[in-house]
Amino acid sequence: MLIKFINANVLNKNFDVLENYDLIVEGNRIKTIRPKLTNDDTTYDRVINCNGNYLIPGIKNSHTHNAMVFLRSMSDDLPLGDWLNKYCFPNEAKLTYEDVYYFTILGIMENLSSGVVGSMDMYLDNYAMAEASIKTGFRVNICDTIQKFNKKIAPEEYYVSLNNYKGDNGNLVKYTLGFHAEYTNTKELFERISGLTHKYKSAFFTHNSETKKEVDECKERWGGLTPTQVFEEFGLYDYGGGGYHSVYLEDKDMEIYKKHDVVAITCPGSNVKLASGIAPIKKYLDYGIRVAIGTDGPASNNAIDMFREMYLTTTLQKVTNKDAAVLNAKEILKMTMINGAFCLGHTDGDVIEEGKLADIVMIDVHKPNMQPLNTFINNLVYSASKINVKLTMVDGKVLYEDGKFYINEDEEYVYKKCNELLTYLLNR
Amino acid sequence: MLIKFINANVLNKNFDVLENYDLIVEGNRIKTIRPKLTNDDTTYDRVINCNGNYLIPGIKNSHTHNAMVFLRSMSDDLPLGDWLNKYCFPNEAKLTYEDVYYFTILGIMENLSSGVVGSMDMYLDNYAMAEASIKTGFRVNICDTIQKFNKKIAPEEYYVSLNNYKGDNGNLVKYTLGFHAEYTNTKELFERISGLTHKYKSAFFTHNSETKKEVDECKERWGGLTPTQVFEEFGLYDYGGGGYHSVYLEDKDMEIYKKHDVVAITCPGSNVKLASGIAPIKKYLDYGIRVAIGTDGPASNNAIDMFREMYLTTTLQKVTNKDAAVLNAKEILKMTMINGAFCLGHTDGDVIEEGKLADIVMIDVHKPNMQPLNTFINNLVYSASKINVKLTMVDGKVLYEDGKFYINEDEEYVYKKCNELLTYLLNR
């Protein structure tokens, strides 16, 4: 497939705007970016007229539990304990492969409508998640959610099978070693996963220091060591990785993150809604820590909306640092796109450049919230919303355009199916 | 005009859902709300099939400077002083009637796309704002922005002319006594406006305690009195009114708000972006203070997006009170719709009920972020965005539907005109 975007404003690798450019996609790669060519004899499978809209690198959602859409808005405004124990855990215990498959597809649709081309997902059925990704054409990096109560703990099997799922060879689906969290695992599991990170020279991702309680209880269990320090003790971060949430890092933890290039993956929407706290992102940046952004699952957020997360990431730093000059739009885009691609293991899908993966989003500026066009990237971070996502292309294929999905599943069928599966789940 | 919505789920006055209802609008009022009628011989000017989408009361934006769209994204990530003195004030000094008229229309379009049916607006040319409202059909309550540097201070003239602008008789356009803030006015102006509030038994609105600096400097000037206490001394709040922002109220201020039914109008998006602070809304509610929500101007926010403001209002209280159970969705809707209508002076446009004003928004639930349909009002507050606004009706007229505007101005012309006016303004 050869697709040409014309009359585009293109955000280049430095997030500067190239005005009135053509962009040509061949297969799943960006072939050419050049000023508008008036005489072009090539035959294209499709020519997409951008009408002055902007092409930006695909947004990456670096932490989510997509299938948790089924719990969206079921149990809000509750203390964290009640929310987890009365709603999440009992219902999650009933999930089937089919449930996780369809709920993940619904989550993928929500990602696409937010300009997201891939997510680092963690949930209860790795194969159902992989299948949803292959079916829809959406990128996923499946981080394992091993915990001591699991029936099936098979990281080595997953590592082999999911990094080449049905011949995909890591193009759409990747698998990353990880586990749920310190407090849901055991010394034996730490050792086992650490062994695998060394065997495969692999990164390791997990929930880390989301709440103060989590850190305090870990320190009680481990003679004063924080989760980060425990993970370092076991060599889990020897090949890098990431900490989902990373709200309560101590100075020593930050040194460990910096030393091993562990990514602090912030989920500000979830953290404020569950009253967990506000991560000191400005301080992490001062330490030289790499930061990426995720939505967390829709049960705690309740949206998969990376525009909201980008806005929250910067504004919450401004208000907590009492300084409106902290964290500008370019820094946020770097976290979302470049560092997001790093987390997902798709570093050649980070920016728009010839030869890079064709993971591209068209931002509609023919909407009042993007006018006037003073500074596009500021409009993008401080004013844009899902209403501005005109098209989402993943791996050279248009999966979302003008509000419609092209994901090998009918959208109304997915809504109906998800509501039916949920009713059935709640009643059994 | 007789318009019938069919196959609707209707949010009633208690924010409970009436499933599968018809709603009939006659002229500018809601005539009938009833379970779906299969045999209906009446002839309607239009029948709108909601396909299971939800009809909610129009959202009210209780504080904005709509015309400030022209400064959107021009000067972000700056300390407050630089932002105001280097960008806002010098450019605002050059604004013409035509500038304010078109920039206000752009702001109105952004409100409509966010499901907003009316705003309490404060800016530099009251007549241009009134004209934009009449032209487009959008409700506005113009709060005067008198300050000591103004060339024209004519509240009495405005009170008479704008409360019946071109025969509108306060239907779309209202005028409310107010001034910019304590720090931009004088004792003489306090006395003059207070005289008018008493003469007309009128409410009084102003910026109040937005920043700590504002409160500290006021106390220095006025022997320890806060802005709220100064206003009370002058009798400005004797007939109620509101305080825009209300971030730094002291306990005595809260007592004054409660005593005079002064509305605390919170603008969380602006307050976090400008690093002003987070208003203790939970405490205000405990005091029995009425709270409403606004976006502030798009120069400081940078969007007019009441979904973002609703989300921020509740989640910022959860995180600062360290309690996820604080401030539920119903309380947020009450602030936005009922208290918003109170601020705008359109108390008969507060909820959906027979006889009320036909200020109605259709929320599209055929989008992934609203599925599954566990709890609609939670979806609305915690997950909805502009993408879910399918239709905005003001005063019985559809002004926005499926992304298109019906406001007696061509939307592309407005964008072009605003960019041209801005270029001309910056270069003169």
pLDDT digits (tens, 9 = 90+) for A232-275: 999 999 999 999 999 999 999 999 999 999 999 999 999 999 99
Distance CA B305, CA A369 (A): 9
Residues A154 and A13 in one domain: no
Residues B90 and B239 in one domain: yes
A415 in contact with B at a CB cutoff of 8 Å? yes
Query: Which residues of chain A lie closer than 8 angstroms to B418, CB-CB?
Result: 371-372
B58: which DSSP letter?
P
Query: Which position has the higher pLDDT, B398 or B147?
Result: B398
Model confidence at A366: pLDDT above 80: yes
Q: Which of B384, B387, B308, B366 is nearest to A387 (CA)?
A: B387
Task: Kindly report the nearest CA distance between residue A333 and chain B, in angstroms.
Answer: 14
**What's the one-letter identity of residue B352?**
I
Model confidence at A23: pLDDT above 80: yes
**Mean pLDDT of the region A205-226:** 97
B385 in contact with A at a CB cutoff of 8 Å? yes
Enter the tokens of residue A313: 């990431």
pLDDT of B306 reads 98
Q: Which residue of A has its CA nearest to B421?
A: A372
0.95 surpassed by complex ipTM: yes
**Mean pLDDT of the region B355-375:** 97
Task: Kindly report the nearest CA distance between residue A427 and chain B, in angstroms.
Answer: 14
Enter the tokens of residue A11: 């955000």
User: Between chain A and chain B, how many beta carbons pairs sit less than 8 Å apart?
Assistant: 230
B386 in contact with A at a CB cutoff of 8 Å? yes
Give the β-pairing of B241-245 and A116-121: unpaired
Residues B293 and B375 in one domain: no
Q: How many CB atoms lie within 10 A of CB A14?
A: 9
Query: Which residues of chain A lie closer than 8 angstroms to B79, CB-CB?
Result: 323-325
Condensed to tens digits (0 to 9), the pLDDT of residues B99-154 reads 999 999 999 999 999 999 999 999 999 999 999 999 999 999 999 999 988 777 89
Write the DSSP string, A322-364: T-TTSS-HHHHHIIIIIIHHHHHT-GGGSS--TTSB--EEEE-
The alpha-carbon radius of gyration of chain B (Å, integer) is: 21
Domain that holds residue B313: 59-347
Distance CA A417, CA B131 (A): 49
**Mean pLDDT of the region A346-365:** 97
Residues B157 and B280 in one domain: yes
Task: Kindly report the nearest CA distance between residue B279 and chain A, in angstroms.
Answer: 11
Q: Which of B308, B328, B312, B329 is nearest to B385 (CA)?
A: B308
Is residue B421 included in any domain, yes or no? no
Distance CA A383, CA A375 (A): 11
CATH, residue B18 = 2.30.40.10
pLDDT of A146 reads 93
Judged by CB atoms closer than 8 Å, whether chains meet at A72 and B379 is answered as yes
Distance CA B38, CA B54 (A): 20
Is residue A319 included in any domain, yes or no? yes
Q: Which residue of A has its CA nearest to B365?
A: A415
Residues 6+ apart with CB under 8 A from A314: A326, A327, A328, A329, A331, A332, A381, A382, B273
Residues B113 and B66 in one domain: yes
**What's the one-letter identity of residue B367?**
K
pLDDT of A428 reads 87
Enter the tokens of residue A131: 């299948």
**What's the one-letter identity of residue A361?**
V
Q: Cβ distance B154 to B192 under 8 Å?
A: no
Residues A14 and A125 in one domain: no
Judged by CB atoms closer than 8 Å, whether chains meet at B372 and A70 is answered as yes
Query: Which residues of chain A lie closer than 8 angstroms to B314, CB-CB?
Result: 273
Q: What are the phi and psi torsion angles at A189 (to 5°)?
A: -70, -40
Judged by CB atoms closer than 8 Å, whether chains meet at A272 and B70 is answered as no
B138 in contact with A at a CB cutoff of 8 Å? no
Residues B126 and B252 in one domain: yes
Question: What distance, in Å, lies between the first and last C-alpha atoms of chain A?
Answer: 47
**What's the one-letter identity of residue A268?**
P
Residues A255 and A200 in one domain: yes
Distance CA A207, CA A213 (A): 13
pLDDT of B38 reads 79
Distance CA B351, CA A184 (A): 47
Could you tell me which residues are beta bridge partners of residue A306?
A: none
Nearest CB neighbour to A302, from listed B79, B83, B378: B378
- Is the bond preceding residue B150 a cis peptide, omega within 30 degrees? no
Question: Which segments of B173-260 does DSSP mark as H helices, in order?
Answer: 187-200, 212-221, 227-233, 251-260
Percent pLDDT > 90 in chain A is 93
Residues A222 and A162 in one domain: yes
Q: Cβ distance A347 to B95 under 8 Å?
A: no
Q: How far is CA A363 from its chain centroid?
A: 19
pLDDT of B84 reads 80
Q: Cβ distance B86 to B71 under 8 Å?
A: no
Q: How many CB atoms lie within 10 A of CB B97?
A: 12
Task: Kindly report the nearest CA distance between residue A410 and chain B, in angstroms.
Answer: 12
Distance CA B385, CA B256 (A): 35
Q: Which positions 213-242 of B are in contact with A (Cβ < 8 Å)? A: none
**Mean pLDDT of the region A23-44:** 94
**What's the one-letter identity of residue B56?**
I
Q: Which residue of A has its CA nearest to B77?
A: A325
Q: Cβ distance A340 to A58 under 8 Å?
A: no
Give the β-pairing of A2-11 and A54-57: parallel
3-state secondary structure of B293: strand
pLDDT of B195 reads 98
Task: Kindly report the nearest CA distance between residue B373 and chain A, in angstroms.
Answer: 7
**Mean pLDDT of the region A34-52:** 93
Mean pLDDT for chain B overall: 96
- Is the bond preceding residue A280 a cis peptide, omega within 30 degrees? no
Condensed to tens digits (0 to 9), the pLDDT of residues A320-332 reads 999 999 999 999 9
Model confidence at B79: pLDDT above 80: no
pLDDT of B304 reads 98
pLDDT of A76 reads 84
Model confidence at A215: pLDDT above 90: yes
Task: Kindly report the nearest CA distance between residue B165 and chain A, in angstroms.
Answer: 26
Substitution target in B64, B71, B76, B364 with the highest count of A β-carbons within 10 Å is B76
pLDDT of A37 reads 82
| Residue A160's pLDDT band (cuts 50, 70, 90) | very high
Q: Which residue of B has its CA nearest to A384?
A: B303
Nearest CB neighbour to A79, from listed B325, B382, B386: B325
A84 in contact with B at a CB cutoff of 8 Å? no
| Residue A122's pLDDT band (cuts 50, 70, 90) | very high
Q: What are the phi and psi torsion angles at B2 (to 5°)?
A: -120, 115
pLDDT of B39 reads 86
Q: Using CB atoms within 10 Å of the CB of residue B127, give its burial: 0 to 12 exposed, 13 to 18 middle, 19+ buried.
A: middle
| Residue A81's pLDDT band (cuts 50, 70, 90) | confident
pLDDT of A94 reads 95
> How many domains in chain A?
2
pLDDT of A56 reads 98
Residues B332 and B369 in one domain: no
B425 in contact with A at a CB cutoff of 8 Å? no
pLDDT of A35 reads 95
Condensed to tens digits (0 to 9), the pLDDT of residues B405-428 reads 999 999 999 999 999 999 999 998
Condensed to tens digits (0 to 9), the pLDDT of residues A56-71 reads 999 999 999 999 999 9
Write the DSSP string, A16-83: -EEEEEEEEEETTEEEEEEE--S------SEEEE-TT-EEEEPEEEEEE-GGGGGGTTTS-SS-HHHI
Write the DSSP string, B220-250: HHTTT--HHHHHHHTTTTTT-EEEEE--S--
What element of type H or E holds A189? helix A187-200
Condensed to tens digits (0 to 9), the pLDDT of residues A274-287 reads 999 999 999 999 99
Q: Which of A20, A49, A47 is nearest to A35 (CA)?
A: A20
Mean pLDDT for chain A overall: 96
Enter the tokens of residue B141: 């309550």
Judged by CB atoms closer than 8 Å, whether chains meet at B113 and A368 is answered as yes
Distance CA A370, CA B128 (A): 22
Distance CA B219, CA B227 (A): 8
Residues A34 and A166 in one domain: no
CATH, residue A270 = 3.20.20.140
Is residue B413 included in any domain, yes or no? no
Residues B8 and B135 in one domain: no
pLDDT of B89 reads 86
B109 in contact with A at a CB cutoff of 8 Å? yes
Q: Which of B33, B74, B65, B67 is nearest to B50 (CA)?
A: B33
**Mean pLDDT of the region B333-353:** 97
Percent pLDDT > 70 in chain A is 100
Q: Which positions 61-80 of A are in contact with B (Cβ < 8 Å)? A: 69-74, 76-80
Give the β-pairing of B17-26 and B46-49: unpaired
Condensed to tens digits (0 to 9), the pLDDT of residues B200-251 reads 999 999 999 999 999 999 999 999 999 999 999 999 999 999 999 999 999 9
Is residue B296 included in any domain, yes or no? yes
